[in-house]
Structure 1
């Protein structure tokens, strides 16, 4: 009770924090009159003045009032827009590294210019992160006018941008781009073999637009760069036929987890069908030989039963295209992982693309946490405030609106079934349409959009449908959704980036109607006419009650519902919102409490009859909270697992950076050689054991394999008081001498480049293999829970052990190549056409469920050069032991332990027979 009284008297903590910023806003406003008297040149000179102050020791906080006032005045002159006081509060919030929650239509794009300009003055780079390429280009062009006018450079990152253009864009003071492009460029940079080829600079400050969509919704799945593996098309098609022939009694599905599994009878039935199809190597489905078949069988089941066409994906141009569940957009080029996309392609009978192997990966959480300062803005963040703080240490600040919100949010209407609900929706839309009131309808899938469209056609209501099929028309449809009598059906309104202005959008109408008209008096008159028509139409819409937002069902997340509602009532306009629900809605059917169903079914609700109550709304909100909590646990689990890999990733990437920055790596190579020799001896001669217990034959074989030598180990063992340390020292000396002998014919700079190239190549190769191993481990480690063990702890322990093994393998392979591979000085070979390498794939894939996607690469990912540093001066041959290029045993059945006839002195399996 006391908390309620205190809040009513003093305001909430958020209110008090916002009020504390009023003093800074007052200082900014006090400078406005002074800056209005500045000429354009004087105002532009402010940037150089601020940079000079920074060099003299001033901080960005010291410059904030004058810098913000400068941006406000420049914006008024360049863009014709003056920042409101509440927008100044938003700008301060962004500069402080917090999340500014601002309602739709409050001008978040303009707010970002304040913090962007101030932080860009330092010259360290500011990244403005958007949710799609359209917004990145638009904001870079639109707000870029202001920044360029003030003397800053602006770049934009979009797909298929050449490497040199990317480097220039990142070198700019302000860089606009999507979260995916920033993340993929980071991964690509850490796959390159020299600093000169990297495009990104050290991270400084990022402002994330639609921060909830990027850091919450999309953060359920990490970014992945992968390469294609072998083709298994026939297996996918065969399993698809078997799964499609299964009756429902043979499997159980869990719609909450979007998972499915066979019953005991189902296993027996599938085994019979697989054996008949010749797909099993043994009679038992779960024998180890059939592991691959079981995996792809599970994916075929999920594809056929759980994934729905026109809801989860569409088929376009003979390709399966994923639909983003949060925005309703097509995700061209993105693919589900672990064979799921291939299973859906088999289901739809389109061409099956090969699977991919992970080569680099990072979660959005760990990517964005690398920025020293991070901030964000959105219209809906407060419901996820705890997650923003837990994961990113970001505080959410609710910024008050410039004008009080006048929108009326009505109680939900509840119907018995979908048919009754859609009839009522169509009737309500027709009533509003006859009044001239524009209507925006939000649906959760393409299927529901098209179903509603059929109902409206029967009622004779003209309307536009905005979904993944109408992707190209998106901005134009949204911009005109506020005109008289307009009816717009949208799959999802999250992150659309275009305001719905009552009466229509002058800019879009001008482009649509006068796009081809030449500038001149005639065009000016036409623009004036359009402005007058829009103003007149706006008044009529206001009289009709403003924009009516209608939701056809509740989304899993309250934020998505709030985003839809927020489209109405912008900048103090009147508006109305209402949601229509029924028992058959996915949210209520899957997540709703059983008591809700029981009470509703027993209430004798008549066909076509609707009810609404606070109790129902509360029950629905409870269901949404359940889903939000479940999704948070999923994201948290992804972060926890990736944190393990992230520590290892930092070590590898830092090691790569050190190697690339070093003139020579001979000290690193020497340490690796010593560690490799010590490990070989320690394995064969364990500490504390007696000489008669040592694995002498194993030691000889390993030394011959790795060091390419056959030292007199038997003679050493005959000496008195022989110790492992003595063997180590002698092997170290022999290996060092062998290396000196091998490098005598090479100039030192040439050999140092060879060492560097080999070291990077082996680091990348083993890291890629390590990622594949961790992926496999992550998919099965949950089984440890049956043994009463914590899967995450087990994963940490296993991953640590695997990382140690990987480092040991790197040390051994580098040593082996340098001591056994045949390096020959050669004249630069004539230029030749290189074979076409397979394209990299970039992806956004869920490591736990396989949901989300992979993305076809734009060709900008660079495969690390194996021996690129040696091109034209050294030819490196990967045949240990100095073999000739031609295999003398080619085409023959050869004993792998026989000596290789090339004269290397090695066994065939260690020479030309090496696998």
Structure 2
């Protein structure tokens, strides 16, 4: 008997069906306009753009212009690229314009789809950002689609790492700008560390279209982008602690594979404490539980994680004595990315690589909070439906599945589950042999470099010619993918098969033509193209006759999306194809997430060796396990976001204040208000309200005014006068302070004084914000323990973070007031020297932010800090020492080596 929901869907269609149906009238209008637009010449297409712009400026609703804009864009694409968009591509563009995620299968032409809403939304003149997952795609798509936007009379820009500042500003000033998510996030942070408006690159956050939206907004959402500067070198400590970990026994620690967590047992802590004392890392009179041991405990925990949770050739590879992380979702190397909180250094120590110093945070933002800055956001991908709840809750984005242009002809087989890994791989090799014998190209999906190389060895032993695509062959990716659809090709790939790749049956014809022309420079390019296209047509038909691309996955991923991406490599644009998953009870997903029942079922069936169980129930059981893992990961990301939202609100306040300061020509009123609040606080401190005169501390007030306002005022004499109260004293102090600053302004010159105020304010805000970020990091690392006292860690964090923010603002007012009070009028030359010094200090800070490279595992760190200028060295102030080598003399002047003095490991 059918349920009510099933009956309703049969009668009314699903919610997705109704959304798709609702676009039909719009698509009919676009198609009806086609003859009229086709009749325009090239200048007429550009004139149409000018007309649409003028109508938006006059107040016409942008939605009302959609049919005309889409029709104009389709004609421009047809003329520029020879591509006429299908109705389903227009449909995808409509959903993007409406602020949704368009789920479109591989090969459906998402790159072209993005041009429609980008064109329509760029008509307002506010700029549109199209976001890609890597620099290659950003440059390729910008170059490819600039022909379309150019034909429409619009400009196209591309943003990439280490780009000259003037070029970057021009790219952001374009109507449509292509960029990676990393570069957009870093540019936002860099802009908010600049000292002048003219130095800023981004001009706002109007509308973004995110390609591979699931990868960027979900897979990478847990990873903040951090711009950082160098911190103290602790390589000796990492090496000393690393030597202890191999001496641990299994009873000394616990591993939780579900949460990827590891911790010491009580027995392990005792054993470790003894070892640390023996090796002179921990002083004899100090326990691991003492507050002074916090740093050592932190590094010991990171060393344990490095050894027990991070595997070589799965999580990272070692290349030229450098640890290079591997993206678990795409299998690509992530050059430049570094794990934070000392974890990357712990892995470097483990592998004997060069240990790079840690970094201190200068600015940070998560992708979640960066992309929520946009007035309108949309995205496209082949796999989003499984994460629809997260997209809706975090970003307010709906997900709509767009129908394919041609029906999908791929055959998706039920999973085959074997008892052991050996049986599974034996069956995999046999399956590949069978497909290879009939010429069917095979894509073998694996989850790690290690497994891809193991299967490669098995195929070599079986005499099967094949290619391997993993992080080690990163440079050959385009060539290997180009050949993966050829007759009889066998390609073993890590998860990188799921991103930015399009495997065409018979091979990539454009790549083959380019190679043939390069090999025969004397030949006629037209003849070469005609010959190869004819050969390719025959090869493509032969591959289709053999069954199309066969995707053979050797393991299921924790996320259904990643599995669907792999499947989606086959069956593009109605091509035939086949997909199958070969699993074993030893696989991580099966082993960790409850394969006991399944093992009992297999035993009860009396299965023989090398036999597999294949049944839809097994698929459903595995999908339920995957859904549980996805749900757990969503909860983790949601909890992280709640904490980050606290910082995000404060970040927005600080960044807005900086922007207001940069925009203002005259900051004297702001500085005056700050000074007034500092004076009020001083008076409240030394002359508390509702107290008698004999309870006032006028001596303390005199000293405080001298220190903070640089004025020697007779406050005691004032207090002895008859009828004087705290308000009188406050007014007198403020009057003297304002007079003193007015004289300074005259002596300095109004313009110079305004410049000094602006630079001082920006410098102080940045310094205080950096200190505040560090304090919040420390607070976040310990606040979880409040749960043991039955207190909600999030509420505790919110309350304390708010108090810390208020304290930071108080401290900011005091610092600005004190520094301005101490600035003395000097000669013109000295004034210029002072201004130059302040500008130089800012430039040194900005140099640290000029190149940001993201970092994994909850932290992304910009690691290419320039050496900051170290002016104002003070042997009594470690903050001015820079980053001394551990074996040089200590800057304090003690005569001891730095590592034995101020650099001694605590």
TM-score relative to the length of structure 1? 0.91
Equivalent in 460, 464, 467 of residue 467 of structure 2: 464
CA deviation profile, 1:139-194 (whole Å, cap 9, x unmatched): 00111111112211110011110100100000011100100001100000000000
Contact 1:44-1:150 at 8 Å conserved across structures: yes
SS of match in other structure, 1:609: coil
Contact 2:101-2:399 at 8 Å conserved across structures: yes
Contact 2:498-2:566 at 8 Å conserved across structures: no
SS of match in other structure, 2:129: strand
The within-5 A match list for 1:185-196 is: 185-196=187-198
Q: 1:879 to 1:135 in 2, by over 3 A?
A: same
Partner of 1:289: 292
The within-5 A match list for 1:420-819 is: 420-493=423-496, 496-515=499-518, 517-518=520-521, 522-592=524-594, 594-600=596-602, 604-819=606-821
Equivalent in 353, 376, 379 of residue 376 of structure 1: 379
SS of match in other structure, 1:191: coil
Partner of 2:37: 35
Partner of 1:124: 126
**Unaligned 5+ residue runs, structure 2?**
877-890, 895-906
Q: 1:813 to 1:189 in 2, by over 3 A?
A: same
Contact 1:411-1:612 at 8 Å conserved across structures: yes
Moved more, 816-825 or 785-794: 816-825
Partner of 1:900: none
Residue 113 in structure 1 maps to residue 121 in structure 2: no
SS of match in other structure, 2:852: strand
SS of match in other structure, 1:308: coil
Q: CA deviation at 1:364?
A: 1.0
SS of match in other structure, 2:131: strand
Partner of 2:898: none
Equivalent in 404, 407, 417 of residue 404 of structure 1: 407
Q: 1:891 to 1:621 in 2, by over 3 A?
A: closer
Q: CA deviation at 1:878?
A: 11
Partner of 1:235: 237
Moved more, 45-54 or 83-92: 45-54
CA distance in 1, matches of 2:293, 2:650: 32
CA deviation profile, 1:718-756 (whole Å, cap 9, x unmatched): 344553323322322232233234444221111111111
Q: CA deviation at 1:285?
A: 0.8
CA distance in 2, matches of 1:689, 1:653: 40
Root-mean-square deviation (CA, aligned residues, Å) is 2.6
Q: 1:799 to 1:216 in 2, by over 3 A?
A: same
CA deviation profile, 1:767-819 (whole Å, cap 9, x unmatched): 11101111111111111100101111111000000000000000000010011
Q: CA deviation at 1:599?
A: 4.2
Residue 355 in structure 1 maps to residue 365 in structure 2: no
Q: 1:823 to 1:485 in 2, by over 3 A?
A: farther
Contact 1:300-1:343 at 8 Å conserved across structures: yes
CA deviation profile, 1:187-236 (whole Å, cap 9, x unmatched): 00000000000011111111000011111111111111111101001001
Q: CA deviation at 1:598?
A: 4.7
Moved more, 421-430 or 818-827: 818-827
SS of match in other structure, 1:208: strand
CA distance in 2, matches of 1:619, 1:723: 78
CA distance in 1, matches of 2:721, 2:219: 68
CA distance in 1, matches of 2:723, 2:234: 59
Equivalent in 339, 342, 353 of residue 342 of structure 2: 339
CA distance in 1, matches of 2:347, 2:874: 40
CA deviation profile, 1:33-63 (whole Å, cap 9, x unmatched): 2333333333343222322333343332222
CA distance in 1, matches of 2:74, 2:804: 55
Partner of 1:272: 274
**Unaligned 5+ residue runs, structure 1?**
868-875, 881-889, 894-915
Moved more, 633-642 or 837-846: 837-846
Equivalent in 839, 851, 856 of residue 863 of structure 2: 856
Moved more, 834-843 or 503-512: 834-843
Q: CA deviation at 1:694?
A: 4.5
CA distance in 1, matches of 2:644, 2:695: 42
The within-5 A match list for 1:197-276 is: 197-276=199-278
CA distance in 2, matches of 1:344, 1:400: 46
Contact 1:821-1:878 at 8 Å conserved across structures: no
CA deviation profile, 1:366-412 (whole Å, cap 9, x unmatched): 11111111111001111111111111111111100111111111111
Moved more, 125-134 or 4-13: 4-13
Partner of 2:86: 84
Q: 1:111 to 1:807 in 2, by over 3 A?
A: same
CA deviation profile, 1:538-566 (whole Å, cap 9, x unmatched): 11111111111111111011000001111
SS of match in other structure, 2:826: strand
CA distance in 2, matches of 1:600, 1:781: 46
SS of match in other structure, 1:580: strand
CA distance in 2, matches of 1:692, 1:635: 58
Q: CA deviation at 1:695?
A: 4.7
Q: CA deviation at 1:524?
A: 1.3
Partner of 1:842: 852
| Total equivalences in the alignment | 869
CA distance in 2, matches of 1:892, 1:29: 81
Contact 1:119-1:126 at 8 Å conserved across structures: yes
Q: 1:721 to 1:254 in 2, by over 3 A?
A: farther
Partner of 1:901: none
SS of match in other structure, 1:460: coil
